[in-house]
Chains A and B, each alone.
Chain A
Amino acid sequence: MRNRIIGAITVSLLATIIFVPAAPAQRGQRGNNPPAGPPHDPHDLSGIWLQRGGAGGGPMSEWSKEPLPFTPAGLAKFNANKPGKGPRAVVPAKGNDPLSDANVPGLLRTLVYARPFQIIPLADKIVQIFEWDRIWREIWIDGRKVPEDPDPRFYGYSAGRWEGDTLIVDTVGLDPRLWMDEWGTPFSDDLRVEERWRRLDRDNMELTLTITDPKTFTRPWVTDTKRFRLQPKGSPNGELLEVIFTPMDEKDFNQKIRDVSNGVTNK
């Protein structure tokens, strides 16, 4: 009996020592939790935000814990995409991730990946500045609608409106040569995205997407909810850095590391 009690105490102490410091470090949140503060304006999303706890995901996509309802054409495209990450990861030298050639990630892949971004609300639009590739997008809130037949853009064309405390953003015109996430989830030029942004309190915000793309999916589907935390000034993520992947750096990295690590010398 005495041994069991000593064992239980030892295990509890070790669990405290091991897990308590590790958990926030894994989330990149150590030491930057702002104190409980003043009330917030739910219509003001300004600040630097970082997704909490990594992207998550399920068997197919970082956006969903559930399998995706692919059409036959969508599934064929999904199978043709060879990502370097996720459940279907292949060694990068044998993959076809657009990022391996230093292409931009595009809007959806940027949103699902845990890099800081800043939101700057203006009178007629909301500007979202992404650290990843040092790129911005505009969400027009001047009453306009998204175009019916948009030209392709890597970051799309977005128009937003407030419904209660939720910012609803319609996005169209996303270039389908890019992927929806790190795991190679495809989409077509028919894709329409409804983003629902909601600031829960001063420090926490959440995002859910509704994906409508009849060429790729048999029905509209709703993503998992992604949660973001405000990054206060002075914290590790409290300022945006320059994170740009250039072709010359990517080529150098492929030659010296990526291909060599896979035993590929002439790709």
Chain B
Amino acid sequence: MSQNPRFSVLLLMMVALIMLAVPLFAHHGTGVAYDSKKPTVVKGIVTDFAWRNPHAQLFLDVKDESGNTQQYAVEMNSPGVMTRQGWTKRQFKAGDEVSITVYPAKSGAPVGSCIGTCKVLINGKDATPTIAVEDR
């Protein structure tokens, strides 16, 4: 361990983040398609929320840098896991303003994943789930 406390703290926090992130991805069937090194905040308006297996899907209208609207899809936990996180099919409704931290698709497609306890704001209110449970 370094003798510099600030360096020690930084190192410890980095290790902790890696430990938190890896298991969530390791249990997820499409995890290999996403870039876990690039957490990205996506902001948009909800157009649909599909409460379905194998994983719930959130669809947003987002604006690109040119101001054009594009659909962005977010893969989320399965309904069973979300139920145990205290969520329901009414978690999102069309028109909600959402800010969500996703791991973006490596392919560059407008798709990202929010598995486990990624940060979610709904109409400015923090809705980040607090219980992480294993997922398929």
Contact = CB atoms under 8 A, between A and B. Distances in A.
Whether A and B are associated in the same complex: the answer reads: yes
Interface of A: 3-4, 6-7, 10-11, 14-15, 18-19, 22, 25-28, 30, 54-55, 84-85, 89-92, 97, 99, 113-115, 131-132, 182, 236-237, 241-246, 249-250, 252-253, 256-258, 260-263
A7 B12 CA distance: 12
B132 interface: yes
Most chain A Cβ neighbours within 10 Å, of B73, B80, B108: B80
A263 B109 contact: yes
Contacts of A90: 32
A131 B113 CA distance: 24
Contact of B75 (A10, A89, A113, A261): A261
A242 B53 CA distance: 10
Interface in B36-57: 50, 52-55, 57
A101 to B, nearest CB: 12
A7 B3 contact: yes
B55 A253 contact: yes
A18 to B, nearest CB: 4
A256 B32 contact: no
Given A10-B5, A85-B31, A85-B32, 11 more contacts: A3-B3, A26-B20, A28-B84, A99-B54, A252-B52, A256-B50, A260-B111, A261-B33, A261-B111, A263-B108, A263-B109
Given A19-B16, A28-B131, A257 B55 contact: yes
A227 to B, nearest CB: 14
The 10 lowest CB-CB distance pairs between A and B, nearest first, are A7-B5, A263-B107, A28-B133, A261-B111, A261-B105, A114-B134, A236-B84, A18-B16, A89-B32, A261-B33
Interface of B: 1, 3-5, 8-9, 12-13, 16, 19-20, 23-24, 26-34, 50, 52-55, 57, 73, 75, 78-80, 83-84, 105, 107-109, 111, 113, 117, 130-134, 136
B52 A253 contact: yes
A54 B54 contact: no
A122 B26 CA distance: 37
A115 B111 CA distance: 27
B111 A257 contact: yes
B33 A237 contact: no
B131 A249 contact: no
Given A7-B5, A11-B5, A263-B109, A84 B32 contact: yes
Nearest to A252: B52
Contacts of B83: 241
Contacts of B136: 113, 115, 132
B115 to A, nearest CB: 12
Contacts of A99: 29, 54
Contacts of B52: 249, 252-253
Contacts of B24: 26
29 contacts: A3-B3, A7-B1, A7-B3, A7-B8, A10-B5, A11-B5, A22-B20, A25-B131, A28-B84, A54-B23, A55-B27, A85-B28, A92-B30, A99-B54, A113-B136, A114-B27, A114-B134, A241-B83, A245-B54, A249-B54, A253-B52, A256-B50, A258-B33, A260-B73, A261-B34, A261-B75, A261-B109, A262-B33, A263-B107
